[in-house]
Structure 1
Amino acid sequence: MKIYLDGKFVDEADAKISVFDHGLLYGDGVFEGIRLYGGNVFRLEEHLERLEYSAKAILLKIPLNRKELAEATCETCRQNGLKDAYIRLVVTRGVGDLGLAPWLCPKPSLFIIASKISLYPPEHYEKGLSIVTVPTRRINPAALPSTVKSLNYLNNILGKIEARQFGALEAIMLNDQGYIAECTADNIFIVHQGEIITPAASQGALRGITRGAIFDVAKELGVPLREADLTRYDVWCADECFLTGTGAEVVPVVKLDGREIGTGHPGPITQQVLASFRRRVLVEGARI
């Protein structure tokens, strides 16, 4: 495997960063997870824009401009002979001392990995997931904006650990007001009386690229979609539920906290959304 690392393509075994890199020491950096489908990098421009916004929010200068980033991302896929892949683009603060000060890190580091990912077994896309609500709350956006896709994912990891302890592959995380923010690695949508509903970013949800694609899918299908405050009750009593994310794509949910959602099977609107999404990923984005 070839890794893009600070302007060069190196073998996987040689792709190394310093132990003094603040991305490693403090989670000081930003990243994007991007998908390649049939030689098409899905919504690459949107991903690179979000990366730039995340970097701007933490005063981190990305070493490449957007055109250069796009080319480096596509070339990483070409170097590895990939047509379908998961791409991880990371910008770290770079090497500094053992203190927190980011201004003592003179040169950011950038690397790109193109490989495979499988968050959930294939059968769950047909039969649906059973998920739980975990005790760990999503960090308040006033403390750490969820719109910054930073390298510090400990909040999400704690939720993922608790999900596993409860025997689930994914979990809902509430915010400090008790409203649903998102799942540990995915955005959440419900379907109620023919309408698709999802939490707003202000409740702690990441503005996911796949989440944004679902807004376009809903418009195409003629299904109303809105953002609203959601509680666990709303999911328990929903007709359908599904999760979205770059890694997860679109996956149905059929049970929350031991309660069946709707019929206990993936619903018709979820299936329409999934089919439309799978068509879009092959044409929206950049060809490698």
Structure 2
Amino acid sequence: MKEKGGEYIWFDGKFVKWEDAKVPVYTHAMHYGTAVFEGIRGYGAGGNIFVFRLKEHMERLHRSAGVYSFSLKHTVKELADATVELLQKNKMKESVYIRPLTFVGMHGIDLNVTTNSPTHTIIIAFPFAKYFKEGGISACVSSWRRINDQTTPPLAKAAGNYLNSILATQESRRNGYDESIMLDIAGNVSEASGENLFLVRNKKIYTPFFADSALEGITRDTAMTIARSMGYTVTERPIPRAELYMADEIFLTGTAAEIIPVTSVDGHAVGTGKEGPVSKSVRQAYEKVVTGGVKEHMDWLTPVW
């Protein structure tokens, strides 16, 4: 998204025009990456937009801010209500991507960020469709290791964390792959550059746990809930690199990526080299859930109109 997605941005409790949403070049977050954020999708369906798991995303924003002692001046409900009002004010009726971000402002150049440091929160929304090509993607195991809880907490969705992901993405694209898979400091599979990873063997689903430096993904949790409701066994456990080459199926989950199959890793075909039946069934169920097609999960959706 290289152009504005709507006329207005929510900025510290007010709606301001895109061109008027400005911050000083002295902003602490610009120099040190002191920001936490969320990625949220709103799905257009039946003349409405359904924002997916809005409350859970804003709760995670608060948790991430707490890790770094950022003061987040707005409650979960205030942020959720502001998101709906922003979409209404921008007259959005199609599928959108929503980006709430809390950042440290004019703190100075020192690193002693505290709850007294000035912070700001913005919410941006813009039209958004598919992140990856449909049908499946290729991936490589990155030479860059995933950040570790001993150095930079992966469970906090902090802006600075993604410099690690940028290096991995650049490496994968230079080498002709669509995405990278990152290992943790112990050499076990952690996640992709911006998505959680699931592996299927003998129709059983496995995914790395948080101790493997994986993000506490909301789409990850959704996929696990859906898969279990369909009768699949889902286990969180360490996954060694070699198991990627033995998998029947691999799929990734994330707000932007949604659920996407990985059809090859390091040039090795995954299973048949096409989307497998387990991945397909979970993906199709997810697509129904996010567009309001499953009554049992309507509580995950916040209608805009």
| C-alpha displacement of 1:285 | 2.3
| C-alpha displacement of 1:105 | 6.4
Partner SS state of residue 96, structure 1: coil
Unaligned runs of 5+ in 2: 1-5, 292-297
Match of 1:93 in 2: 104
Partners of 2:255 and 2:288 in 1: CA distance? 15
| C-alpha displacement of 1:155 | 0.7
Instruction: Say yes or no: does 1:217 pair with 2:226.
Output: yes
Partners of 1:221 and 1:103 in 2: CA distance? 45
Match of 1:6 in 2: 12
Partners of 1:133 and 1:116 in 2: CA distance? 31
Instruction: Say yes or no: does 1:37 pair with 2:46.
Output: no
Q: Is residue 139–residue 265 contact of structure 2 (8 Å, CA) maintained in 1? A: yes
Partner SS state of residue 38, structure 2: strand
Match of 1:80 in 2: 90
Instruction: Say yes or no: does 1:252 pair with 2:261.
Output: yes
Partner SS state of residue 39, structure 2: strand
Residue of 122, 147, 155 corresponding to 1:147: 155
Q: Is residue 70–residue 117 contact of structure 2 (8 Å, CA) maintained in 1? A: no
Q: Is residue 71–residue 117 contact of structure 2 (8 Å, CA) maintained in 1? A: no
Residue of 247, 271, 288 corresponding to 1:279: 288
Q: Is residue 189–residue 241 contact of structure 1 (8 Å, CA) maintained in 2? A: yes
Partner SS state of residue 159, structure 2: coil
Instruction: Say yes or no: does 1:184 pair with 2:193.
Output: yes
Q: Is residue 93–residue 109 contact of structure 1 (8 Å, CA) maintained in 2? A: yes
Instruction: Say yes or no: does 1:199 pair with 2:208.
Output: yes
Residue of 128, 140, 143 corresponding to 1:132: 140
Q: Is residue 241–residue 261 contact of structure 1 (8 Å, CA) maintained in 2? A: yes
| C-alpha displacement of 1:235 | 1.3
Partners of 1:50 and 1:7 in 2: CA distance? 19
Residue of 66, 70, 76 corresponding to 2:76: 66
Q: Is residue 93–residue 105 contact of structure 1 (8 Å, CA) maintained in 2? A: no
Partners of 1:120 and 1:33 in 2: CA distance? 13
Partners of 1:158 and 1:267 in 2: CA distance? 29
Partners of 1:104 and 1:68 in 2: CA distance? 20
Match of 1:111 in 2: 122
- Aligned pair in 2 of structure 1 residues 261, 80: CA closer, same or farther (>3 Å)? same
Partner SS state of residue 146, structure 1: coil
Q: Is residue 96–residue 105 contact of structure 1 (8 Å, CA) maintained in 2? A: no
- Aligned pair in 2 of structure 1 residues 277, 185: CA closer, same or farther (>3 Å)? same
The number of residues matched between the two structures is 285
- Aligned pair in 2 of structure 1 residues 287, 104: CA closer, same or farther (>3 Å)? closer
Q: Is residue 96–residue 104 contact of structure 1 (8 Å, CA) maintained in 2? A: no
Partners of 1:12 and 1:49 in 2: CA distance? 26
- Aligned pair in 2 of structure 1 residues 246, 253: CA closer, same or farther (>3 Å)? same
- Aligned pair in 2 of structure 1 residues 177, 118: CA closer, same or farther (>3 Å)? farther
The residue type paired with residue 52 of structure 2 is F
Partners of 1:174 and 1:185 in 2: CA distance? 13
Partners of 2:85 and 2:244 in 1: CA distance? 42
The residue type paired with residue 85 of structure 1 is V
